[in-house]
Amino acid sequence: MRYWLMKSEPAEFSIDDLAREGQVAWFGVRNYQARNFMRDQMRVGDGVLFYHSSCPEPGIAGLAQVSTLAYPDETQFEADGKYFDPKATRENPRWFNVEVKYVRHTQLLSLGELRGHPELATLRILARGNRLSITPVDPDEWNFILKLLG
């Protein structure tokens, strides 16, 4: 059982959207490291911190769960879509996604508050210049954050 933090811009897709839809494909990831996390390491049942980025109040907004193993991201084949990849083929897909399902909303645990806890000094999202949209969360970090969330 592993734990993850997954970023989403709430203007694009928020925790409210996830709550309404229940379970969604995490399509559109076009970064190799993030892809590899989904394809090689994510398992059904893994815990997910749902993080709102690029918004007035960035921070953890809810909890989710990995609900499928990774499979080829359909949007890479859609020639008129913004996630199209001309180098990807059905025989040799380049991008993958898992699906995640809604668990619950949480209080907003802001980036500033996360930074204020020495216990979270190693949280990847807080590292300098971090840009990965999917990062692993250590069990200690996960437990500490869940305790903060009550």
Partner DNA sequence: GCCAACGTTGGC
* Residue ranges binding DNA (CB under 7 A): 7, 9, 31-33, 53-55, 58, 111-112, 127-133
By beta-carbon proximity to DNA, the closer residue of 35 and 66 is: 35
Closest Cα to residue 126, out of 109, 110, 138, 114? 114
Beta bridge partners of 102: 64
Burial of residue 18, with CB atoms counted within 10 A of its CB: 0-12 exposed, 13-18 middle, 19 or more buried: buried
By beta-carbon proximity to DNA, the closer residue of 30 and 43 is: 30
By beta-carbon proximity to DNA, the closer residue of 28 and 72 is: 28
**Which residues, 6+ apart, have CB-to-CB distance to 100 below 8 Å?**
6, 18, 23, 24, 26, 48, 64, 65, 66, 67
Q: How far is the CB of 140 from DNA (least distance, A)?
A: 22
Q: How far is the CB of 121 from DNA (least distance, A)?
A: 15
By beta-carbon proximity to DNA, the closer residue of 45 and 122 is: 122
Q: How far is the CB of 6 from DNA (least distance, A)?
A: 10
